[in-house]
């Protein structure tokens, strides 16, 4: 249980509010374009409190990426919920992307965006982005193995998903997820034995 703070709410509530405000600002405009004072104002906390929770911008960016990772994993799990057949669970990845790409706030992958801005200068941000991508590839690899596919299928499906995110962000076309899903269906059909 979080401790009560003088700014209203528990310490966990305040931290979550800061992360949510930073995420919206960073994702919408770019990390380097948003000063910490603007995050403070959006979160409704003092600058002292902001820096008590996050001693620097890098720590805040990493916290934002950790929250994005949690939301991503929950979204994948929700898309696959109730699906029994391994092929269907693999294709659910693209159903999740389809839903995400139609969100009016969609601006591409927050991890790719953060890595592009800060990856060369911030080992912590680079590591958070790599860890997220590695976790996603392991998730798809597990689903592909459950379907009876060989080791080559998962990296190809991951590349489709990653490419779809980038293409949808740049082109502004949410239908890219459906195109990627159709390509994934072909790859899965070729790689998964009948009945998988």
DSSP one-letter string for the chain: -PPB-TTSSBHHHHHHHHHHHHHHHHHHH-STTS-HHHHHHHHT--HHHHHHH-SSHHHHHHHHHHHHHHHHHHHHHHHHTT--SHHHHHHHHHHHHHHHHTSTT--S-HHHHHHHHHTTT-HHHHHHHHHHHHHHHHHHHHHHHHHT--TTHHHHHHHHHHHHHHHHHHH--TTHHHHHHHHHHHHHHHHSPTT-
- 63 and 34 housed in the same domain: no
Using N-to-C axis directions, what is the helix angle for 36-43 and 11-29, rounded to 10°?
Answer: 130
Residue 28: which domain range? 1-55
Is residue 179 in some structural domain?
Answer: yes
CATH number, domain at 171?
Answer: 1.10.357.10
Query: For the segment 94-124, what is each residue's pLDDT rounded down to a tens digit?
Result: 999 999 999 999 999 999 999 999 999 999 9
pTM as predicted = 0.90
Is residue 65 in some structural domain?
Answer: yes
Q: Determine the pLDDT at residue 195.
A: 56
CATH number, domain at 1?
Answer: 1.10.10.60
Percent of the chain with pLDDT over 70: 94
Query: For the segment 36-58, what is each residue's pLDDT rounded down to a tens digit?
Result: 999 999 999 999 999 999 999 99
Is residue 46 in some structural domain?
Answer: yes
Percent of the chain with pLDDT over 90: 90
More reliable by pLDDT, 4 or 38: 38
**9 — pLDDT class (breaks 50, 70, 90):** low
Distance of CA 31 to the CA centre of its chain: 16
Q: What's the number of domains the chain is made of?
A: 2
Is residue 80 in some structural domain?
Answer: yes
CA gap 77, 154 in Å, rounded = 17
Query: For the segment 128-158, what is each residue's pLDDT rounded down to a tens digit?
Result: 999 999 999 999 999 999 999 999 999 999 9
């Amino acid at each position: 249980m979080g401790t009560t703070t003088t700014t209203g709410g528990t310490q966990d509530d305040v931290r979550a509010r800061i992360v949510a405000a930073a995420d919206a600002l960073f994702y919408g405009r770019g990390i380097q374009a948003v000063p910490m004072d603007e995050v403070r104002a959006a979160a409704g906390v003092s600058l002292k409190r902001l820096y008590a929770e996050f001693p620097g911008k890098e720590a805040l960016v990493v916290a934002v990426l950790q929250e994005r990772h949690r939301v991503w994993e929950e979204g994948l799990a929700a898309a696959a919920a109730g699906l029994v057949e391994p092929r269907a669970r693999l294709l659910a990845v693209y159903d999740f992307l389809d839903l995400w790409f139609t969100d009016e706030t969609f601006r591409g992958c927050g991890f790719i965006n953060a890595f592009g801005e800060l990856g060369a200068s911030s080992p912590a941000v680079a590591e958070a982005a790599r860890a997220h991508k590695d976790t996603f590839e392991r998730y798809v690899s597990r689903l592909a193995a459950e379907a009876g596919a060989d080791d080559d299928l998962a990296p190809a499906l991951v590349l489709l998903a990653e490419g779809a995110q980038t293409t949808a962000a740049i082109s502004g076309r949410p239908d890219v997820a459906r195109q990627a899903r159709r390509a994934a269906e072909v790859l899965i059909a070729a790689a998964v034995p009948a009945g998988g």
